[in-house]
Structure 1
Amino acid sequence: MAAAKPQSLGQQILYEELSCSICLELFTRPKLLPCGHTFCQDCLQVYFCESQDHLKCPNCQLQVSLPPEGVTGLPENHSAAKFCEKLSKTDANADKQAKPRNKCSQHPSEDYQLYCTQCDVPVCYVCLEETHDGHSMTSLKKATKERKPVVQTLLKEGKEILGTYHDALKDMREKEKRLIEQKKQTERDIIEAYERTLKEFERTANRLRLRVQEKHNENTEARQRQMESVQREVDELAAACDQAEQEMAQGGVTFLEREDRLTEVIEKHRGAPLPPPLRTQVIAFHPKNFENMPEPLGDIVIGASAAVSKGKGDHQGNQGQGQGEERLTFGGQGSDERH
């Protein structure tokens, strides 16, 4: 965004804070990157190929994944856009309201002629007649000579105050960047804790499943041994009965030879108790109630942030107002050189 060149130190500070580091102009449709740096939308589109799905911040080189919409899908820096709009309007109004020097602010068609020492303002002849009649006057040349050092002193102090504000703004932006990085680091720590916990849960689940399988194998082996024992008895009794029955069906007398064997087998199993119920180990799982447990991953600890750093020279912040709090004091005693 092309804008008028700043004239004052205050404007210079604002322009510096609100200028894109690619085009060096005031932001146009400012886009905010996750690292905290802001650039014009058009500058980012020109700086990076539209086919890319990521970009690197031109300032800090942080790699940023682009949304499906590309650069236009990045979040807007509404604060920067608002300040740029206000600054542009201020420049436009300043250009419109610019007046030739020495023209009276109350009567634009009149030139300043005298300086009212009672009111400490320059006046034209119309002002003299309307509102300064009877006041003490001096020439503009003499007033300029006398008041210039006072104004210069005020300007010096004003610039020092502006410098303090500039340092404070710079420090705030640095802290904002650190806050963003701290947030990202905290999120990374949470993900790492989640992954560690997930792996530990997987190891625990595998260990529990292994124990379940071991107990199941023990139960299966015991049941198999019991079934094999019963099956042997069944096979013995069934074989004796089948053989005797077949020989009787043939109509001969050979079955008489099998009577003793059949009697022996029948007597063996007559009244014999059935195998007792197999006593197996019951396998069950009792999950923990995570709803009543503390946060399994960890806790979020909120600590006091560092206060804004002190200014320079006589414009130092006064600490001791409370933890995490700092009060900045701007300016000194000023000038008391008045008539």
Structure 2
Amino acid sequence: MATAAPPVPEPNDMDCSVCHEQYVQPKLLPCGHLLCHHCLLSWLQSQDQALCPLCRCAIMDPEERGQKSWQDVADGFPTDLAMADLVVAHRLLKQSHSCCMCEEAAASCLCLTCGDLFCETCRKLHLKQKMARNHTVEDLTSLTADKVAGSQHAACAVHGDKTTELFCPTHGESICQLCATSRHRSCPEVKDMQDKVKDARAVLAELAVTLTEGEARLDKAIQQLDTHMAETEKQTKKAVAEIEAVCARLEKSVQDCRHRLNALAHSACSDVKEAVTETKTCMLHRRGMLTSHKHVVQRVQEAKNCDTVSTMTPVMQTRVGNLDCSATLPSGAKVVSKVTVVIDAEAVTRIEKELSVLGQTKVMSADLDFGPVTAFCFHDNHGKNIVLSNNKQAAERRGSGNNGGIVVASQPMMTNMLYEVILDRRVAAIIDYLWTGATTTPPEALTLPSAAGGWPSAVVINDSSVVVNGRQMVKSNVGRKLFNLPEKSRVGVMLDKKRSLHLYINGDDQGEAAPSLPDPCFTFFDILGPYRQITALPVRRIP
């Protein structure tokens, strides 16, 4: 597969991010960034944590340092020789040089074959020499750093005036012809440097393809995440709009209820006010009549004429006797009563409670396909007879007895992804079992049982049944093939889109073991029987 040549760094790309000068012995960090050797050493000595100054990735694990000094640590990182060559070539092109032959005129060209600088006159003389007729000489103004760096030939470490044309695989050294006939005469094989370079370039081409494909996968994953984020934003706006619409409806209902209750209260009070007003009017009229007759009685009482007093007295007796001097309600008057608007407190409380729990979020697994996934690893919380290795992807059972062999995945399961292990080793003549399943408790919070058979908060698949939460045993043929599996068998579990748990043996679906498991779930494996090792395989998507 053809790959494009990597871009040649611009001058600014040749500057160290610490000293801001061109690299001197550039050291390659684990994250891929470069630092000058002396800058790396100074940086490591001045920092509490060994982090890259550009991306803050760990330069090294403190446990890996051991008793090493910072000098040894800095020396241990590989030197980017390609960048070092480019820096040297760039400096060469930027400097002013004299012709190597006449030593008077300024150099205007460089012989890429022998590395000498010439003025224009000496250039012609150089190319007329028999040994230099096939040399490539180019103007300094047209040369680039990468071209100069590519033309340089490594000098032999022993014979400095000789170039390395051969490679000794036995000693891993680039050597000259003289070394091959002297120091390396007894070596079984000495390869031509061009063959070595050809092999190295083939390896580099494969590495470039691997990195390019990795970049493509990550670009695809990032694009999917961006799409997922955009979809999430869209769903958020839609959800907010729906919430606003629902709340607007609820607010309208509350306003309508407020207006209705207010109208009800005003209406009820209006009837009372009308009755009170009518009764009051009747009583005011009655009081007016009493007041008028009182004034008449007072005038008669104060009259001087005896005939007037004697004549009016019986008249007023009759008139006052016919008047109603009581404070009783007049006949036919409306009954006056108090009106109270009763609010159902229980109904209000119920509505408030229902409003507080109104709505819910439903989380669905995103249908993202990031391509190949690396193997999952086991958590440090495991059975007492388990030893983890290979970056916690291999679990070996040691010790006697059938208990203490549980290992749990450190990552939660994703839907439609197969979490699979391979049975690396078993002991002949010993009947081995392998139980598997899923637990709903994160591994760091688990109290592991000695064996998975009666495990609460877990679905355990064995060769004859499915045990749910340590109590419910369902007779099932799903795990019938788990009995006495041969070496190199593959066993795995998968959650489908409905979060039902499936068992897989050697890539074949054995059927559904348990439906509707909650999120999160963590797969586990219980190694029953001594001296067996399992290794986690790359997680892969099941269509």
TM bucket, shorter chain: 0.5 to 0.7
Query: Separation in 1 of the partners of 2:194 and 2:351?
Result: 84
Q: CA deviation at 1:154?
A: 4.4
Of the three residues 360, 377, 388, the one matched with 1:300 is 360
Query: Separation in 2 of the partners of 1:116 and 1:318?
Result: 53
- Give the 3 Å change call, closer, same or farther, for CA 301–323 of structure 1 in structure 2: farther
Q: How does 1:1-339 map to 2 (within 5 A)?
A: 8=6, 86=55, 97-99=84-86, 100-101=149-150, 112-117=164-169, 123-124=174-175, 134=187, 136-146=189-199, 148-252=201-305, 253-255=307-309, 256-257=311-312, 259-266=314-321, 268-269=323-324, 272=326, 274-275=328-329, 278-286=336-344, 288-289=348-349, 293-296=353-356, 298-311=358-371, 319-321=416-418, 322=495
SS of equivalent to 2:191: strand
Query: Separation in 1 of the partners of 2:173 and 2:308?
Result: 152
Q: Which residue of 2 aligns with 1:25?
A: none
Query: Separation in 1 of the partners of 2:197 and 2:329?
Result: 124
Equivalent pair of 1:115/1:122 in contact (CA under 8 Å): yes
Q: CA deviation at 1:214?
A: 0.3
Structure in which a larger fraction of residues adopt strand: 2
Query: Separation in 2 of the partners of 1:296 and 1:248?
Result: 79
Query: Separation in 2 of the partners of 1:250 and 1:112?
Result: 158
SS of equivalent to 2:358: coil
Query: Separation in 2 of the partners of 1:217 and 1:223?
Result: 10
TM-score, length basis structure 1: 0.53
Structure in which a larger fraction of residues adopt helix: 1
| Number of residues of Structure 1 aligned to a counterpart in Structure 2 | 236
- Give the 3 Å change call, closer, same or farther, for CA 150–301 of structure 1 in structure 2: same
Query: Separation in 2 of the partners of 1:318 and 1:118?
Result: 51
Cα RMSD of the aligned pairs, angstroms, is: 4.7
CA offsets per residue over residues 80-119 of structure 1, 9 Å max, x none? xxx9x659xxxxx999645434676xx8x99654334458
Query: Separation in 2 of the partners of 1:116 and 1:246?
Result: 153
Query: Separation in 1 of the partners of 2:275 and 2:206?
Result: 102
5+ residue gaps, structure 2: 10-51, 57-79, 87-148, 373-413, 419-494, 498-519, 521-537
Q: CA deviation at 1:280?
A: 2.8
Equivalent pair of 1:237/1:266 in contact (CA under 8 Å): no
Equivalent pair of 1:122/1:140 in contact (CA under 8 Å): no
Whose RCO is larger (CA < 8 A, sep 6+)? 1
Query: Separation in 2 of the partners of 1:157 and 1:194?
Result: 54
CA offsets per residue over residues 152-194 of structure 1, 9 Å max, x none? 3443344223212211111111212222232233233323322
Equivalent pair of 2:170/2:189 in contact (CA under 8 Å): yes
Matched letter for residue 216 of structure 1? C
- Give the 3 Å change call, closer, same or farther, for CA 282–169 of structure 1 in structure 2: closer
Equivalent pair of 1:115/1:123 in contact (CA under 8 Å): yes
Equivalent pair of 2:165/2:193 in contact (CA under 8 Å): yes
SS of equivalent to 1:289: helix
Query: Separation in 2 of the partners of 1:281 and 1:222?
Result: 12
Q: Which residue of 1 aligns with 2:67?
A: none
Q: CA deviation at 1:303?
A: 1.2
The alignment-based identity, stated in percent, is: 11
Matched letter for residue 249 of structure 2? R
Q: CA deviation at 1:201?
A: 1.1
- Give the 3 Å change call, closer, same or farther, for CA 153–311 of structure 1 in structure 2: same
5+ residue gaps, structure 1: 1-5, 12-82, 88-92, 330-339
